[in-house]
Amino acid sequence: MGSGNSAALSAESYLALTHAQWAAMEAHVSAETPNEACGLIAGHNGEAQHIFLIENELKSPMRYRMAPKQQLDAFMDMEMEGWELLAIYHSHPNGPSGPSQTDLAEAFYSEALQVIWSRTGERWLCRAFLFENKEAAEVEIRIGEDE
Ligand SMILES: [Zn+2]
């Protein structure tokens, strides 16, 4: 704690979510379909503590851009709570289940994971990736019990 530089994530990294956090994101991406939804996952050491649902101001099925004011408010909350940004999530209502070329090209918080929700029929799949040098490595998501 206290250090401004977070260590680079290694291949052993994981993202731990509670059922409630998983369900909150699923409800969000589902509600925004057919448009992409987006948000932020905050916590410590891979353990999510809060999900920030952020408006996609582009209202597009192909792209997202977080509403700047909501994004700023989320970062201020994280600062106050002492949380780190663990991951950025967004949805692909029409696939793919992994990152698009645009995602890889535009990612700028390289230390945070990229969580992608994709849909097959009514079922949503949630995967996490670490982007490095415009390539994506999949990271395990662990779903734990609610507190
Ligand atoms: Zn995408």
Burial of 65 (0-12, 13-18, 19+ CB in 10 A): middle
Question: Whole-model pTM?
Answer: 0.89
Q: Which residue has the higher pLDDT, 9 or 62?
A: 62
What are the counts of helices (DSSP H) followed by strands (DSSP E) for the chain?
3, 7
Tokens encoding 134: 């415009």
Whether 12 contacts 107, CB under 8 Å: no
36 is catalytic: yes
Tell how far the Cα of 63 is from the centroid of ligand 1, in angstroms. Answer: 7
Identify the band that residue 135 occupies on the pLDDT scale cut at 50, 70 and 90: confident
Tell how far the Cα of 98 is from the centroid of ligand 1, in angstroms. Answer: 8
- Looking at residue 7, its pLDDT comes to 46
Domains of the chain, by residue range, sit at 14-144
Whether 124 contacts 89, CB under 8 Å: no
Q: Which residues line ion ligand 1, judged by CB < 5 Å?
A: 100, 103
**Annotated catalytic residue, options 36, 81, 135, 138:** 36
Could you read off the pLDDT of 89-101 as tens digits, one per residue?
999 999 899 999 8
Q: What percent of the chain has pLDDT over 90?
A: 75
Residues 6 or more apart in contact with residue 54 via CB below 8 angstroms? 38, 39, 40, 66, 67, 70, 71, 74
Give the whole-angstrom CA distance, residue 46 versus residue 129: 13
What would the mean pLDDT of 75-79 be, rounded to a whole number? 97
Phi, psi of 60 (to 5 degrees): -125, 145
Tell how far the Cα of 147 is from the centroid of ligand 1, in angstroms. Answer: 31
What would the mean pLDDT of 110-120 be, rounded to a whole number? 91
Q: Which of 117-121, 124-128, 142-146 has the lowest mean pLDDT?
A: 142-146
Tell how far the Cα of 2 is from the centroid of ligand 1, in angstroms. Answer: 32
What would the mean pLDDT of 71-99 be, rounded to a whole number? 96
Domain 14-144 fold = Cytidine Deaminase; domain 2 (3.40.140)
Tell how far the Cα of 49 is from the centroid of ligand 1, in angstroms. Answer: 23
